[in-house]
Amino acid sequence: MLALAVGTFAIGTGEFAAMGLLPQMAQSMHTDIPQTGQAISAYALGVVVGAPLIAVVAARMSRRSLLVGLMAWFAVTNGLGTLAGTLGMLDLARFISGLPHGAFMGVAALVAAGLVERGYRGRAVGRVFSGLTIANVVGAPLATYVGGSMNWRLAYVLIGLIGAACCLMVLAWVPYDQPNRARSAISELAAFSRKQVWYVMGTVAVGCGGMFCVYTYFSVTLQEVTGVPTWGVPLFQAIWGVGMCVGAWAGGYLMDKSLKWTTVGAFLWNAFALGLFALVAHNIWLTALAVFMLGGGIALSPAMQVRLMDVAADAQTLAASMNHAAFNLANALGAWLGGVVLASGFGLSDTGWAGMGLSLVGLLLFALSLLSEKRDNSRTATAHR
């Protein structure tokens, strides 16, 4: 689990550091911040494309071998991405770097869940995803500091090295599993024939987008609205990360008790925190509180991961990977909607209101999912009488 958590730490640092390094990237590419924000969307779209494609193509592979190959891909492409000299090249580099993200996270969750009894799956997945949360306490703030004081390219070289270290740890510690010839591309694609899989993906893609409405422009908002100096941005990223650590731990524990009510509570928590951020962004201390609360909303990620694993039947690899594809579709949607808010003449803090709206729509989709599942189960029970 430690080896897998180092992998999620590398991925989380690579993904979230871009938000803090957006001003430096824009300056080096000689473009404005909204245009450079496309690189964040490009990475997210890479995850969306790569997750189903890799899950289907690699269905029969040993999961350990697949994890090593995906993390090696991530390490190399993040290193090569530092050679980008134009915005177009940067967008392409970020897209390619995002391709292995969803598949690695999904397979890592499956491996972790397979190491424990069913009643402890939430906590096992939460431990692996703890690397993602710690990335926001240590990794992303450190990368932002390195990028701000030296060069954003150096930050991504270091991220690539962490990915390489993960490869070695997986080879050393993760038990080898034989390739499963019973799995196939067709059996994995069967996940898309299940209505509940689409419901969960839609819930994640829309409901988690609220966080990215704020986080995409987080660094700029802190500096221009809250009045945080450049050196203070990593501290606020760390506060967000501490909130994520608490949210991941609490979410993993609570969802082993009740997946449904943990998910509902996480959506309501997110909506409240996003609205609070919009209201208090001018006050540095209340903003710190809102940022901590926003981090706690990460409890949705392991909850939706386990939900997808429950409704996917035999198509586990694809379904587990698609959770992260949907999460990064939320990234792209949130970044786009935040850009629309700013382009429409609203203030940076107003991205919080847009994010709140997305969270409430996500809660509605989750409620519709539960209602549909209840109806389907009722019809099945009636048919068997």
**pTM score, two decimals?**
0.74
Q: Which helix (H) or strand (E) holds 361?
A: helix 351-383
Residue range of the domain that includes 304: 2-383
Q: Which amino acid is at 57?
A: V
Name the domain count of the chain: 1
What's the Rg (C-alpha) of the chain?
Answer: 20
Between CA 36 and CA 250 the distance in angstroms is 35
CATH number at residue 263: 1.20.1250.20
Q: pLDDT by residue for the chain (385 residues), tens digit each?
A: 899 999 999 998 988 788 778 778 888 888 877 777 778 778 878 888 888 888 778 877 888 999 999 999 999 999 888 888 888 888 898 999 999 998 898 889 888 888 877 777 777 877 887 788 788 778 877 887 887 777 888 888 899 999 999 999 999 999 888 877 766 666 667 667 778 888 888 898 898 888 888 887 888 889 899 998 878 887 887 888 888 888 877 777 787 778 788 889 889 999 999 999 999 999 999 999 999 999 887 777 777 877 877 777 666 677 777 777 788 788 778 888 888 888 888 988 999 999 999 999 999 999 999 898 888 777 776 766 6
Nearest to 354 by CA among 332, 365, 368, 339: 339
Cα–Cα dist 228/230, whole Å: 7
CA distance linking residue 14 with residue 74, whole number of Å: 9
- The kind and range of the H/E element at 177 are none
